[in-house]
Structure 1
Amino acid sequence: MQKPKSSSVTEKPSIPARTRPKAATKQPTGKAAPGRRPRIPYTKAEIHEIFRRFSIQRPEPKGELEHVNPFTLVVAVALSAQATDVGVNKATRALFAAADTPEKMLALGEDKVRDYIKTIGLYRNKAKNVIALSQKLVDEFGGEVPRTREELVTLPGVGRKTANVVMSMAFGEPTLAVDTHVFRIGNRLRIAPGKTPDEVEQAFLRIIPKEYLFHAHHWLILHGRYCCKARKPECERCVIADICKSPEKTVDVPAPLVELPV
């Protein structure tokens, strides 16, 4: 009896569905998908502890720009762009002694304003803005500084950051102004990451406990100015060193919770 010829094609045995290997899944890269908020490496308890320690370190933080009323505050903050608070204060002491209202500033005139602030960067353009915002305050707001962000940002030389500072310091509103220090801390510590100041602001506002929001702006600025410095963070002096998740951190032991000299 002749044996049947074997086929040149061998059939693969079928694999039951339950034992078939799963399709490979794409591993997470750590980057947030478009439209999603980036995840931060802190628990709610850790975030609360960070701001609790800031509150012990500086119970009543103060802004360092010298001013005598909401108008001089608006001018001082507008002048502080790309300048230090120390430099602005040196220039504005004499300026505000001569003109502490929009009407007096207009009477002083752009040339004299420029002479007062010529030690500040971009002083020519800033002098124009000071006169322009003074004119707008007189023409449209009765010489009074408006209390809302929407109105404040219509003033020449006033952006969202300046408006937030004025709302907080002049009118007691719990806002968060993002300057270079706050922006750096948000990204360096990976606590409020963002590509723009607005993104960092919104990220901080989502996580800062409500009871700490009013002073958070000053705590973050002072922490960045005197401890978490741009060139080299002074981690050995940091009160949140053991909680911090920054790749740049050099120590884990927190410093004693005392008021730092400024």
Structure 2
Amino acid sequence: MVVNADSMQVYDTLRLLTARPDEADMGGIGHCLYGHVPAASAYSTGAWAREAQALVAQLKGEGRLPVFVGGTGLYFKALTGGLSDMPEIPAAIRERLRERLKAEGAEALHRDLEARDPETAVTLKPGDGQRIVRALEMVEATGKPIRFFQQQTGPMIVDPDRATKYVVLPERKLLHDRINRRFQLMLAGGAIDEVRALLALELPSEMPIMKAIGVSQIAALLKGELDEAEVIEMGAAATRQYAKRQMTWFRNQLDDSWQRISSAEEVL
């Protein structure tokens, strides 16, 4: 069973833009945790870890093995118990704080956080609305500061000593060539219509799906602020920058038990 470990491919929209596999890509093999989360949901690493834990237990009972595939490093840390075990936030609290962020602004919420959780507030920039809201959510939902939960690690879902682990680190020029070609093909294949449909949902800009690479560039195209050539150039550049950060994270965070390969074909 192939299990998704990519934070954008969990959503039920932007299949092309997030490179979520289609039926042909799946080739008749079972795939889980792909395209099952509504775009309007603020899906967290903790939510993914809970789903992954339940799925691993189910597959174990069936005598089957999961194959986790993706590029979200925090998901892989969560698999091995390396992440804080954060509680779920009630939707009403989350929605109320997001509405406050829109109405009052990040700095006003930062002042609120200073009064309720000063130790966390001092570590956050007054303009960092997303993290400020996250900290306030914890205080409102649990009565405890977010650092209380950050100091606790979640359960081990997969035993890292028993798992076979690969990290794909392609040659830089090959990776960049693929990125440049991929973004052009996505536009030609329907990514513009995907973003148009996403924008019609009128979601808040801080929602995770709205931060998917290509959304802001294609939105600018739809507004007439960019032409297609500029969108391709800017989208590919943003993808290259993300890939660079991703490769750096992998090199620094994944220990020597992870086998470094340049292509998935090396293990097929």
Q: TM-score, normalised by structure 2?
A: 0.24
Q: TM-score, normalised by structure 1?
A: 0.25
- Report the structure, 1 or 2, having the larger helix content: 2
